Structure 1
């Protein structure tokens, strides 16, 4: 993703390389690098939480807002100050195209409408509605309102009829309304999936045409695209085949590379190898036809939660 270790290495290296001739471009690359490091820390927190709980606004929603805001600001700097100036640079052009797709990847995971993952608060609210749970009531300064108050704490005005005084439920066929996207004030709530998919195709095509088969930046592009296919497009077979083809191309490459790039390539090939088997176990939603809806939902939650990357390359994206 935009916070991967390979991307950060190339951001720092290329920023130093262009600094003598283009100080403005170097400055923006260093800023995006700093933003990427910060974003990586937030994504690690999100991965540990495994989901964003809308009932804890001071923790989960602040994290959610921070991730969206960092991604939005990174995309603005990239589109306004980097992409227009990458025409003469090979690796930097590939990296810029890849970063643009990565930021949109985050939008799809955390802020897409309609939701394609369980990482959005709207998806959690929908899951709660399907489970028959209403929206929780937040603390307004005097403690959390509870329905299970004791008899002694009740009002002296008791209902005179068994049907009086009970909880008010929605009419049959109408569930609790799902709230609008809570981060719409940061970013429009639209479907980012087609745009993200198009940008990934462009980044992959550019990397394939400009970089050799075992180049670690090319592998970074293709690794994240394979993860995007699995987590966002929900094309498990396409993701596995793409990872398999990438590994085959790496072994067929004959170009030399330094030790650092070799180590990065080895790490990415290991990740791609795991992605070749991703979804083939019992947790594959597409193979859960005989399972109950609750079991399938649990499997989907587990698979999507793994989309949040760690600081390094432990995670496919």
Structure 2
């Protein structure tokens, strides 16, 4: 998912750059750009709802399925057509690695098992039929007990025959899968997402300068992932603060557009530095003089707010 406007700018710019020499790669980048714009709108809608409301099943489940499908298809295009062709193109390689981590970030937020976020739907939804799982060589697991007509013998039932059969030792009842399991496996995506973010950060540090807006985009989303998905608040704040320091220490020049993008991302990082901290409340000022009608304020306090 192109999480920021800067990612979408680079997707379009790099697609145009490679188009004369690699039309297929350019086509895939343009497709991922369109998919990312759609996905960003869907995830924004889901975040505004705070939680996909299962009482509004039709709307919520459609949004949930759409987010998972877009993320899955974007990841497939990225891994099959973009990553194998990035070559030595530094910005494109960093962007591709960042997008791979971003798609897994979406999986963690909306479809992780166990659930770590409040924005996804990770439990079976009432009214949505669950498709029975096929086991290799065993067919559909049926839990229906034999009826009298279905017994293999007409002989009287033996005292040890019939009745519920418990699972073998160590095998408990299978829990129903989330509604989106037919789109994506219901697993813990955090380790994979974290590894891909670390790879993207390492690549950005080695190929891009400190104030490069794409490098800032990688670290900004990584800081968000640490906070939201790994609940590493201190690590997220430290990463954001260190990134801001690197920006101020960078001496490379940039054009006006990249400078504006860098300023916007530094502003986001500045908010992340303070995220989760207790606000410092200033001491209460002395109460104003209110005795008497038309009391005169102290000198110099006429415009006090």
The verdict on a shared fold, with TM-score over 0.5 as the criterion, is yes
User: Per-residue deviation at 1:136?
Assistant: 6.5
User: Per-residue deviation at 1:117?
Assistant: 1.0
The alpha-carbon distance between structure 1 residues 137 and 71, as it changes in their structure 2 partners (threshold 3 A), is closer
> What's 2:243 paired with?
246
Q: CA RMSD for the aligned pairs?
A: 1.7
User: Per-residue deviation at 1:66?
Assistant: 0.3
> What's 1:162 paired with?
none
Deviations 1:22-44 (A, max 9, x none): 00000000000000111111112
Could you tell me how far apart the structure 2 residues matched to 1:68 and 1:56 are? 18
Give the counterpart of 1:273 among 270, 275, 279: 270
Alignment of 1:75-224 (within 5 A): 75-122=75-122, 179-224=176-221
Q: Tell me the TM-score normalized by structure 1.
A: 0.71
Deviations 1:248-288 (A, max 9, x none): 00000000000000000000000000000000037xxxxxx
Contact map agreement 2:112 2:122 (CA 8 A) in 1: no
Which one has more relative contact order, counting CA pairs under 8 Å at least 6 apart? 1
> What's 1:38 paired with?
38
The answer on 1:255 being equivalent to 2:241 is no
Deviations 1:188-239 (A, max 9, x none): 0011000000000000000000000000000000000000000000000000
Q: Tell me the TM-score normalized by structure 2.
A: 0.74
Larger gyration radius, structure 1 or structure 2: 2
Could you tell me how far apart the structure 2 residues matched to 1:200 and 1:104 are? 9
User: Per-residue deviation at 1:4?
Assistant: 1.9
Partner SS state of residue 181, structure 2 = coil
* Bigger proportion of residues as helix: 1
> What's 2:155 paired with?
none
Partner SS state of residue 47, structure 2 = helix
Contact map agreement 1:122 1:178 (CA 8 A) in 2: no
Contact map agreement 2:47 2:119 (CA 8 A) in 1: no
Deviations 1:78-116 (A, max 9, x none): 000000000121100000000000000000000001111
Structure 1 gaps of 5+ residues are 126-134, 139-176, 283-317
Structure 2 gaps of 5+ residues are 129-173, 280-305
